[in-house]
């Protein structure tokens, strides 16, 4: 296999593909779509983050504006946590439109994230949004299929293939040359998209909104280049394995429908069937039942808290809770918060594991579907996947727990133990300066190391698909026929 011959076939493919005027029309349409997707992505990113930051500031101002008040009332007054859209959300929307971005944080309750774009949109959103990543994942492969379906089949039909082989060319040189030629054309479409992403990040991106932003982009770009080479090679292999150009095109369109529509939907359906999720009511009921068994802090006759009270009184050698050196009600609320939070996290972990098992069915399908592999890699490294959403929820719940326990500790320290009954009125209060002393919620993006761990299967899948593609090219070169 001579590199000079491979280069010659690649250049010949480039010339034949780019000479027709229809190619430039197609390329112009793709550039227009790129421009539209880039502008809409930038506008959506800026608008969403401005809205969320504005409301985060308002929530903080509302929190700090509270007057002197009982700490437990402040714990129930609560505040909000807003998820910041990752900088690479400009490129890949991922699940951003389908996951909530706001959580109300209060004592004793773990609320879910709300106000996703999908809840305010029509059913058309299920067909996807035109993003830069979508152009690379779905549109560009279809373009490559149309550009390369006749590359080998047409040469067989007009007799050119027999002439090439009789003059010393080998099947390996033909297949690798045409694959590289189609791949270089795909780079023509790839470059404007990533230039748009780089310019958008330089102008509108926030370094704080993504950990190792440029390294993430480099990994994403490398993944897409590998994906495009896989698609280019598959196109040439199908063309070489089919007698006519017409049949080659039909096969490639069938492959596109199978890998883009049927397999992903089937994987999602199988995940939901094998790992069914409980209803919201069943989830909350299971937690409530365990809280009742473990100890209900709002039940004055609860056995757990009766035993706890007796232990505390014994340790401090007093007979009444009003004689303790701290406010006993605050102590009970602190213990109650610890119990309910522990139980919630246990049940929530089980629920998240169910969702992860469902997603794993789709992730493992990437070994038979490169489209899934690149989609998973792109979303995860962009910070718009399910794991990034769960990471935000965990951050919000940790902040909620810290807020509630801080308010309980303020009650223990500053509310007189003699004033045990209730949180109403002007006598059971602490100074409002304590509200501003408690730091505001600050959403941090998931670290690159965690993102790579989540994207590990997708990375392995793409590497295996690259190796499989090389093997398939070699295998086809031995089995292909000129007639």
* Cα–Cα distance for residue pair 204/85, rounded to 1 Å: 12
Cβ atoms 447, 211 nearer than 8 A: yes
**What is the spatial distance between Cα 418 and Cα 434, in angstroms, rounded to a whole number?**
22
| pLDDT category of residue 401 using cuts at 50, 70 and 90 | very high
Lowest mean pLDDT among 1-5, 87-91, 132-136, 272-276: 1-5
Tell me: pLDDT of 348 over 80: yes
> What whole-number distance in Å separates Cα of residue 441 and Cα of residue 83?
10
The mean of the pLDDT values for the chain is: 90
Side-chain half-sphere exposure of 20, counting CA atoms within 13 A = 9
- Rounded to whole angstroms, the Cα distance separating 72 from 157 reads 82
pLDDT digit string, tens, across residues 440-461? 999 988 999 999 999 999 999 9
Q: Where are the beta strands (DSSP E) in 213-354?
A: none
Q: How far apart are CA 326 and CA 329, in angstroms?
A: 9
Q: What is the rounded CA–CA span in Å between residue 151 and residue 162?
A: 14
- CA distance linking residue 283 with residue 348, whole number of Å: 9
Report the DSSP beta bridge partners of residue 80: 104
Q: In whole angstroms, what is the distance from residue 113 CA to residue 410 CA? A: 28
Mean pLDDT of 432-446: 92
Q: What CA–CA distance (Å, rounded) separates 49 from 43?
A: 10
Q: Read off the pLDDT of residues 53-99 as tens digits, 9 standing for 90 and up.
A: 999 999 999 999 999 999 989 999 999 999 988 899 999 999 888 88
Candidates 80, 110, 114; CA nearest to 397 is 110
User: What is the pLDDT, as a whole number, of residue 209?
Assistant: 52
> Got the DSSP string for 2-38?
-HHHHHHHHHHHHHHHHSSHHHHHHHHHHHHHHHHHH
Phi and psi at residue 104, in whole multiples of 5°? -85, 125
pTM over 0.85: yes
Torsion sign over Cα 17, 18, 21, 22: positive
- Is 223 within 8 Å of 65 (Cβ atoms)? no
Summarised one tens digit per residue, pLDDT across range 307-345 is 888 999 999 999 888 889 999 989 999 999 999 999 999
């Amino acid at each position: 296999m001579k590199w000079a011959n491979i280069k010659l076939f690649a250049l010949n493919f480039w010339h034949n593909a780019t000479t027709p005027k229809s190619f430039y029309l197609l390329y112009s349409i793709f550039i227009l779509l790129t421009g539209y997707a880039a502008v809409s992505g930038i506008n959506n990113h800026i608008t969403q983050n401005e809205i969320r930051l504005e409301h985060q500031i308002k929530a903080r101002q509302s929190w700090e504006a509270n007057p002197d008040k009982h700490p437990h009332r402040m714990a129930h007054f609560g505040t909000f946590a807003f998820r910041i859209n990752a900088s690479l959300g400009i490129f890949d929307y991922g699940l951003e439109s389908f996951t909530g971005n706001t959580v109300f944080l209060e004592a004793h309750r773990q609320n879910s994230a709300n106000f996703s774009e999908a809840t305010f949109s029509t059913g058309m959103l299920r067909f996807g949004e035109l993003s830069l990543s979508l152009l690379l994942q779905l549109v560009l492969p279809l373009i490559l299929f149309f550009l390369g379906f006749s590359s080998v089949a047409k040469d067989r039909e007009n007799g050119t293939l027999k002439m090439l082989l009789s003059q010393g060319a080998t099947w390996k040189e033909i297949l690798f040359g045409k694959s590289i030629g189609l791949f270089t054309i795909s780079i023509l479409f790839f470059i404007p998209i990533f230039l748009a992403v780089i310019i958008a990040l330089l102008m509108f991106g926030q370094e704080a909104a993504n950990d190792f932003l440029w390294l993430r982009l480099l990994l994403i770009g490398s993944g897409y280049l590998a994906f495009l080479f896989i698609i280019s090679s598959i196109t040439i292999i199908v063309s070489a394995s089919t007698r006519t150009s017409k049949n080659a095109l039909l096969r490639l369109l069938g492959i596109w429908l199978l890998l883009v529509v049927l397999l992903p939907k089937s994987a999602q359906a199988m995940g939901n069937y094998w790992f069914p999720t409980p209803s919201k009511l069943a989830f909350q009921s299971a937690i409530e039942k365990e809280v009742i068994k473990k100890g209900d802090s709002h039940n004055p006759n609860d056995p757990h808290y009766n035993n706890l009270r007796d232990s505390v009184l014994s340790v401090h050698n007093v007979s009444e809770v009003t004689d303790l050196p701290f406010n006993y009600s605050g102590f009970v609320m602190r213990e109650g918060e610890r119990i309910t939070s522990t139980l919630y996290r246990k049940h929530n972990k089980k629920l998240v594991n169910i969702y992860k098992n469902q997603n794993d069915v789709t992730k493992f399908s990437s070994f038979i579907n490169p489209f899934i592999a690149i989609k998973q890699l792109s979303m995860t490294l962009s910070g718009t996947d399910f794991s990034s959403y769960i990471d935000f929820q965990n951050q919000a719940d940790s902040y909620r727990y810290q807020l509630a326990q801080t308010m309980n500790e303020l009650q223990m320290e500053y509310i007189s133990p003699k004033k045990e009954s209730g949180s109403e009125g002007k006598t059971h209060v602490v100074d409002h300066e304590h509200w501003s002393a408690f730091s505001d919620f600050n959403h941090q993006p998931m670290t690159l190391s965690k993102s790579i761990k989540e994207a590990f299967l997708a990375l392995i899948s793409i590497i295996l698909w690259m190796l499989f593609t090389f093997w398939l090219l070699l295998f086809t070169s031995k089995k292909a026929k000129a007639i």
